[in-house]
Amino acid sequence: MTGAEVANALFVATILIYAGAMFAYAVEYAFDRRAPKRAKQLAAVAAPGADAAGEPVAAEPPISPAAARGAGRLGLVLTFLGTAALAASIVTRVVYTGRWPWGNMFEYTVGVALAGMVTWLVLVSRGNVPRRLGLFATFAVTMVLGTSVRVYTEAGPLVPALDSYWIVIHVTAAIASSGILLIGCVFAILHLLKRRYDRQVSDGKPIRFPLNVAERLPDATALERMTFKIHVFAFPLLTFGIIAGSVWAHLAWGRYWNWDPKEVWAFIAWVVYAAYLHARVSGKSAKVNAPWIAILGYAVMLFNLTAVNLVFSGLHSYAGV
């Protein structure tokens, strides 16, 4: 097996391991019946009508809470394992090509997945988030990895414009901030789901899919604060990435800012995230909309990664993508 084949095998293994982890988290999420007590109480207090109809007789779950927690632990172990495999895949590519591994869109996207998963594992290890939410993190990261397959590029040498130590600084900052913001976006979505769920419950309206998933989510306020913290952490990194990029642009293209499509959309993403941070501190009604702005910010980031690379032509076009 050549180095490139080893890297590809590890990459496929990562996706399979993450899929396994996702399944294990799903078992914990669905069958560990300790967590949603609070939500049930809330429902009972807010919707007496449901009480009158009688608490639905819960059938004995096929998996005991203890076994479900075991599945969650397995999920976490698999997540660590998959992340190690992903890192090993990237390192193998580095050894094989003898260069920094951010040379094309495929490598960039894989880097974002790694950054997102590492962010998640740090949060779980520090006890900032409950383990079972790994279901959503592994789902998001596996989606990113799946997307990267669409732009797979053979491991090869760098074009001259990328042959600079600034690739380490600029692209690493861009990848790290994209990965962290991915997790931030996941929390924004979870918050909106839970908020909607809470309102449905307090209005006594029926809960349908996908809102019923939110039943077992943590408190909506806590989810919102987590969203904000992650964005606060990532925003300076994104800012630094853009500044480093403009220093590099000066060296490689002669101008520090060219209004290249990639730069335009990075500027837009930065402005949207700045708007999010402002919305969070500008009074109640703006704060309510803030999570939507955060999601819009990530939509811009994704657009910048996909559409700008594949549709627009500009200075940031390398190796076809």
Partner 1 sequence: MTAVLAPPPRSEPKPLKRLRSFVRRWWHQLTAMRTALLLLLALALAAIPGSTFPQRSISAVDVAGYYDEHPDLAPWLDRLWAFDVYTSPWFSAIYLLLMVSLVGCILPRLGVHWKALRARVPDAPRRMSILPYHRVLDSEANQSMARAVLKQRRWRTTVREAEDGTVTIAAEKGHLRETGNLLFHSSIIFMLVGVALGSLMSWYGNRILSEGKSYCNNLQQYDEYGLGAWVDETSLPQFCLTLDDFDAEFTNGGPTAYDAAVAYEAGGQSGDYALEVNHPLNIDGTNVFLIGHGYTAVVTYTDRYGQTQTLHQEFLAMDAAMNSEGAFKFPDANVDPATGTVDEDAEVGFDAILVPTYDDATAMLLGTDPELNNPVLALTAYTGDLGLADGQPESVYAVNEAQIASGNLERVNDEVEVIGVGDAMTLPDGSSLTFDGVEQYAVLQVRHDPGGPVVLAGAVLLLGGLLPALAVRRRRFWIRWNPDGTVETAGLNRNDYDGLDEECDELTAAIAPGHEPPQASESDDSIGGRQ
**Is the Cβ of residue 13 or residue 315 nearer to partner 1 in the bound state?**
315
**Is the Cβ of residue 19 or residue 270 nearer to partner 1 in the bound state?**
270
- Are 141 and 119 contacting, i.e. CB atoms less than 8 angstroms apart? no
CB of 235 to partner 1, least distance (A): 7
| Pairwise CA distance, residues 238 & 276, whole Å | 14
Q: Per the omega criterion (within 30 degrees of 0), is the bond before 36 cis?
A: no
Alpha-carbon dihedral of residues 173, 176, 182, 185, nearest 10 degrees?
-60
**Is the Cβ of residue 17 or residue 231 nearer to partner 1 in the bound state?**
231
**Is the Cβ of residue 212 or residue 221 nearer to partner 1 in the bound state?**
221
CB of 151 to partner 1, least distance (A): 17
CB of 60 to partner 1, least distance (A): 23
CB of 314 to partner 1, least distance (A): 8
DSSP 59: P
| Pairwise CA distance, residues 6 & 235, whole Å | 35
Contacts with partner 1 by CB under 8 A lie at 34-35, 38, 126-130, 156-161, 163-164, 166, 218-219, 222-223, 225-226, 228-229, 232, 235-236, 239-240, 243, 246-248, 250-256, 258-261, 264-265, 267-268, 271-272, 274-275, 277-279, 281-283, 286, 293, 300, 308, 312, 319
Does the CA dihedral 65-69-74-75 come out positive or negative?
positive
CB of 303 to partner 1, least distance (A): 10
| Pairwise CA distance, residues 242 & 219, whole Å | 35
Helices (H), the chain: 3-31, 37-46, 48-52, 65-97, 105-125, 134-150, 166, 172-202, 220-253, 261-280, 284-305, 307-310
**Is the Cβ of residue 160 or residue 206 nearer to partner 1 in the bound state?**
160
CB of 5 to partner 1, least distance (A): 18
- Are 90 and 101 contacting, i.e. CB atoms less than 8 angstroms apart? yes
**Is the Cβ of residue 20 or residue 314 nearer to partner 1 in the bound state?**
314
**Is the Cβ of residue 95 or residue 271 nearer to partner 1 in the bound state?**
271
CB of 162 to partner 1, least distance (A): 9
Output the six-digit token pair for 26: 């799903």
